[in-house]
Amino acid sequence: MAGVACARRLADAGLVPMVIDKGRSPGGRMSTRRTDGFTFDHGAQYFTARSDAFRAVVEDALDAGAVAVWDDGSGAGEPHYVGLPGMSGPVKHMANGLDIRCGIEIQAVRSHRTGWVLEHDGGSFDADIVISTAPVPQTKTLVGAHGFAAALDQIQMAPCWALMLGFDAPIDPGWTARRTEDDLAWIARNGTKPGRAGESWVVHASPAWSAAHLELDKPDAADRLFDMLQTDLGPLPAPSYIAGHRWRYAMVTTPLGHSFLNQGTLYAGGDWALGPRVECAFESGQAIANAVLNESGI
């Protein structure tokens, strides 16, 4: 979200940004897995829109069919949005027309004359300006040596183990989603979201439990979380699909406190700059773009 929000603003102003993503498609933790007739949003569960700028983006995506409202029964007083057909829907909608290179992992960022060289397994890219919106540990590896290390050291991110369950028949516990302060911090009937398939459930372990069990094998973590879920809810049918996913850098717990870091033509930002919300990632990306445009006199 941060990288594409930044690139979208730059492209709309007439610059030519390239977005490089080591994943298969843009979206990051706004991720969805589809398998065996089930759909799992195993990263971000929903997002809200509180600023005028982000609300405009969400409304545009709503009109385009890339976002829908999910009634999760929380009664939070503000809409909870989800992407369509998966959580990355609004990111992909914003990315239309951008130069996006997926499946490329940048391994080093080096200064070179008046610009930068970004090295990867297949070669390198030259750039006038570099903006990193990766999670803090990767950003520190890539650009920390250029003056950001001390600031990045102050930021803390928590891990999260996610459990994905697919059942052959509907299960109704009397609620759509539930947040707790226990080891199972979030339980959601993911199949109740617009556009999702099957009786799919997503469970997120708490940051504390996830950190304490971070190096479990995925099947072991999935089995333990399913046992904990049955202890909480009572016996459940055997799932026809079960899998665990480890997010090492899931949620910022101590943010930077301002929108981005900057050293000349090198920038870094993301949700870790402002807080653990999708909108915070958008705001950081937009702020970086505005700073670049101001420096460029645009």
For residue 238, give the DSSP letter. P
Instruction: Work out the percent of the chain whose per-residue pLDDT is above 90.
Output: 93
Confidence of residue 284 (pLDDT cuts 50, 70, 90): very high
Report the pLDDT averaged over residues 189-208: 97
Task: Give φ, ψ of 64 to 5 degrees.
Answer: -85, -5
Report the pLDDT averaged over residues 43-67: 97
Is residue 206 predicted with pLDDT exceeding 90? yes
Spatial separation of the C-alpha atoms in residues 4 and 27, rounded to whole Å: 9
Report the pLDDT averaged over residues 279-290: 98
Tell me: cis bond preceding 207? Omega within 30 of 0 counts. no
Spatial separation of the C-alpha atoms in residues 255 and 123, rounded to whole Å: 34
Confidence of residue 76 (pLDDT cuts 50, 70, 90): confident
Structure tokens at 123: 């070669």
Contact 201, 167 (CB under 8 A): yes
pLDDT the model gives residue 9:
98
- In terms of C-beta distances under 8 Å and separation of at least 24 residues, what long-range contacts does 43-47 make, across chains too? 43/87, 43/162, 43/247, 43/250, 44/87, 44/278, 45/177, 45/186, 45/188, 45/202, 45/204, 46/70, 46/72, 46/80, 46/81, 46/82, 47/80, 47/81, 47/82, 47/277, 47/278, 47/279
Structure tokens at 66: 């890339």
More confidently predicted of 36 and 16: 16
Instruction: Work out the percent of the chain whose per-residue pLDDT is above 70.
Output: 100
Residue linked to tokens 């190096």? 215
β partners of residue 261: 268
Spatial separation of the C-alpha atoms in residues 293 and 298, rounded to whole Å: 5
Confidence of residue 298 (pLDDT cuts 50, 70, 90): confident
Is residue 279 predicted with pLDDT exceeding 90? yes
pLDDT the model gives residue 150:
93
Report the pLDDT averaged over residues 260-288: 97
For residue 181, give the DSSP letter. S
DSSP alpha helix (H) spans, 14-147: 52-63, 89-94, 136-143
Is residue 74 predicted with pLDDT exceeding 90? no
Q: What is the pLDDT of residues 246-268, one digit of tens each?
A: 999 999 999 999 999 999 999 99
Name which of 136, 143, 140, 100 is nearest 119 in CA terms.
143
Determine the length of the chain.
Answer: 298
Q: What is the pLDDT of residues 165-174, one digit of tens each?
A: 999 999 999 9
pLDDT the model gives residue 189:
97
Report the pLDDT averaged over residues 72-101: 94
pLDDT the model gives residue 119:
97
Spatial separation of the C-alpha atoms in residues 274 and 160, rounded to whole Å: 19
pLDDT the model gives residue 113:
83
Is residue 36 predicted with pLDDT exceeding 90? no
